[in-house]
Structure 1
């Protein structure tokens, strides 16, 4: 099935997912047993200003979401994005990359894989509360992460997803020797899920097809966080937006320039969450349910757009300013969540 058919947003894949969710009901999950191992505890004191507490406090109660993920489960991986973590591995193979603001004004990535798995992905880092709302659009996704703030673990344990830390799936993770801890934890996706589920699992609401009329020629667009920035530069040769982060080209460990076909700058509410890191810094919460404005970059142009996501179990619908569906270009999509200043 083509990606267009599998990712049209309102197709049979979403209807089947909702039916399965309805059958499961609202049963609360047990607490996630994510007591991080001694190897991970060495990574709790971070560098580069990224001060998140990855120590889990769990127990022996687990539900079926901590067992083997089902066939058809997308893989979402939390990827470290401070300077000490770069270059990353496997980022170019993701179908979607979400960028969000974290403590200290820094950024973190969530890479979503459905159509192909790279051999290795990483560095893997910790989860945030916002991730649970973002991931509800998928049917029981698998979330690979290194741990989480201890008070967040019950929420992760009760979420309709398969949480996979090194404690849950140690054979799929390893520590590299080229970066210092905690920026050296990597994942073998194939050891976690076997094979990718395919494009039908990407129930994002995104539409793919020809560009709408209009648009404004755009060579480069920069999105700034308080302590991080993303720049997307159009390449006529590759017909892609080449990514730079904090002023440096984003190139993987395999020497591949990361270059999505579509970039979405989505203006959202970024507010304080109920959690803080171990230094007392508040963790930002990025609201992805609601509506607002966006800019969509494709084909060397920028298109003003509107976005709407009515419920957490829905994908996000993008439309042009005249209400027509906003099609994305075929290929990788980056969604950068920018705090709405309007």
Structure 2
């Protein structure tokens, strides 16, 4: 993160304007060009709380755990996600948790196992559906008590299939519509603290690429002016999608978090990291080819995360998919 350390944020400038009449028209006479019985313009549709894009309805929330090593790539369905969380797992590697609501792909995967950090991130979405493939035996009671609907491969086997040409366990894919059909009471999308604007604030520092390191994984986010997205490169290779094109998003949030050793281990006896997504901290938001220093705050697990600039104003994201990269300034060795 040396690429963005040391810049200064200026005060964001918010411009507003209002139309006013001269008040010179005589009583009973309509202004020139007015039409009798004309009504005010219809209000624009509300924004989706996860993407800032217009939406006519709020749909249920589905979270999916997705493999994020070379063995599981190219990933499928990830480009349709509203939010993508990057979390550290055993061995210093990373795994993704993709949040779907506004758009559902036909398939998503490879679907992999859940982690304890997921159970601390998910309560802000109410009681969403969680798609995953297994957990450690000691963690089963935690999942059962969590605020979620279990649509794992053992709970909803008919919503999953094995994709030919891929090696197990990296060949398990889920069908989002079938998964949500098994969780009809799943919470609908609601505010999780994000703020959106077409106009980036002042105070950003131009950046072509920003790097983030985990103990055993390297990410690079490179701005594409042509695509208006930050394109993802991992471990020196472009992160391509199974549907075509490179993974990426208009907004990347690099959120510095505390990472501890949890009580869980994998079968290699590598500890499972516990990522602390509740509390306060600092970070960097990337949008429109610029980097902004921010502060983040999440008072409790049931509340969303807010991001503010140096002057204390909400940091507006660009509309579209958002990646939240949960990284530690001082990564704990595996």
User: Any unmatched runs of 5+ in structure 2?
Assistant: 1-43, 53-57
Q: How far, CA to CA, are the matches of 2:74 and 2:48 in structure 1?
A: 34
Greater mean deviation of Cα atoms: 93-102 or 198-207: 198-207
Match of 1:151 in 2: 138
Cα displacement string for residues 33-80 of structure 1 (whole angstroms, at most 9, x for unaligned residues)? xxxxxxxxxxxxxxxxxxxxxxxxxxxxxxxxxxxxxx9430000000
Report if the CA contact (8 A) 2:51-2:321 is conserved.
no
2:304 equivalent to 1:301: no
Match of 2:210 in 1: 221
Match of 1:138 in 2: 125
Greater mean deviation of Cα atoms: 252-261 or 293-302: 252-261
Residue in structure 1 matching 2:313, options 318, 321, 324: 324
Residue in structure 2 matching 1:93, options 59, 63, 80: 80
Q: How far, CA to CA, are the matches of 1:154 and 1:198 in structure 2?
A: 20
Q: How far, CA to CA, are the matches of 2:67 and 2:208 in structure 1?
A: 28
User: Any unmatched runs of 5+ in structure 1?
Assistant: 10-70
Match of 1:201 in 2: 189
TM-aligned CA distance change 1:169 to 1:224, over 3 Å: same
Report if the CA contact (8 A) 1:262-1:334 is conserved.
yes
Report if the CA contact (8 A) 2:294-2:307 is conserved.
yes
Residue in structure 1 matching 2:166, options 158, 179, 184: 179
Report if the CA contact (8 A) 2:50-2:82 is conserved.
no
Deviation, structure 1 residue 8: 9.8
Deviation, structure 1 residue 255: 1.2
Q: How far, CA to CA, are the matches of 2:146 and 2:86 in structure 1?
A: 21
TM-aligned CA distance change 1:135 to 1:245, over 3 Å: same
Residue in structure 2 matching 1:249, options 238, 262, 265: 238
Deviation, structure 1 residue 232: 0.7
Secondary structure, in 3 states, of the residue corresponding to 1:208? coil
Report if the CA contact (8 A) 1:7-1:199 is conserved.
no
TM-aligned CA distance change 1:109 to 1:146, over 3 Å: same
Bigger radius of gyration among the two: 2
Report if the CA contact (8 A) 2:160-2:175 is conserved.
yes
Report if the CA contact (8 A) 1:72-1:201 is conserved.
yes
1:14-53 matches, within 5 Å, as none
Count of equivalent residues: 281
Match of 1:265 in 2: 254
Q: How far, CA to CA, are the matches of 2:146 and 2:213 in structure 1?
A: 31
TM-score, L = length of structure 2: 0.80
Match of 2:280 in 1: 291
Deviation, structure 1 residue 7: 5.1
Deviation, structure 1 residue 181: 0.7
TM-aligned CA distance change 1:131 to 1:198, over 3 Å: closer
2:106 equivalent to 1:127: no
Deviation, structure 1 residue 301: 0.1
Report if the CA contact (8 A) 1:296-1:305 is conserved.
yes
2:334 equivalent to 1:341: no
Secondary structure, in 3 states, of the residue corresponding to 1:328? coil
Deviation, structure 1 residue 308: 0.2
Match of 1:24 in 2: none
Deviation, structure 1 residue 139: 1.5
Q: How far, CA to CA, are the matches of 1:246 and 1:334 in structure 2?
A: 17
1:34-73 matches, within 5 Å, as 72-73=59-60
Report if the CA contact (8 A) 2:126-2:187 is conserved.
no
Match of 1:18 in 2: none
Q: How far, CA to CA, are the matches of 2:45 and 2:208 in structure 1?
A: 30
Greater helix proportion: 1
